[in-house]
Amino acid sequence: MFQVFGTQRMTGMDTGFMMENRWILCQLLFAVYMIVLMIMDIKWKKISLAVLISGFILLPAGFLCGREIHVILLAAGAGVGIVFLIVSRVTEEAFGYGDSILILIMGGFLGFWNILSLLVAAFSMAALFSIFMLIRKKFHRKSAFPFVPFLTAAYIGGMIIGAY
């Protein structure tokens, strides 16, 4: 490192580290975004539309973060979210619009195959949670609970094991 009047200047080695790890940095940024949404969903059972929509800024970042993934797979991943938006509309929001918009953003960030595996993990965790709560008699068949925590757990779990 070179010091110029008490400040540090980045060398090629520092920028090389950033360039080599930009996908990991993007994943961490997306994890922070997911954690913020999860806290909102748990605390208020609602997600701020402004915070949710800010996730669309992360879509180009996902593409530009040095991943080797075709743009068609990213678009197909976002298409999964569009299917969920249709489900939200048809079921009169039995599955919330916020969850569907988040799946659209996640699909555009991760791509088609990764969003499918993430959704399998999230729905599996939600099913186990529901069974547990039904057995404990804390829920009944029509009970609702926030889904973003399961999406967040599936995302962070997949990130940790290197699934994407």
CA gap 110, 128 in Å, rounded: 25
**Tokens 């080695």 sit at which residue?**
13
pLDDT at residue 14 in the model = 65
Nearest alpha-carbon partner for 109 in 54, 30, 1: 30
Go through the chain and tell me how many residues it has.
164
Residue type, 30: F
User: CA-CA distances (angstroms) from residue 33 to 8, 28, 106?
Assistant: 30, 9, 11
SS3 letters for 133-164?
A: HHHCCCCCCCCCCCCHHHHHHHHHHHHHHCCC
Per-residue pLDDT of the chain (164 residues; tens, 9 = 90+): 444 444 455 555 566 777 788 889 999 999 999 999 999 999 999 999 999 999 999 888 777 787 888 999 999 999 999 999 999 999 999 999 999 999 999 999 999 999 999 999 999 999 999 999 999 988 887 788 999 999 999 999 999 999 98
Output phi, psi for 4, to 5 deg: -125, 110
Partners of 3 in the β-ladder: 8
pTM of the model: 0.87
Q: Spell out the domain ranges in the chain.
A: 11-161
| Cα 21 to Cα 28, 49, 153, distances in angstroms | 11, 30, 22
CB 35 within 8 A of CB 152: yes
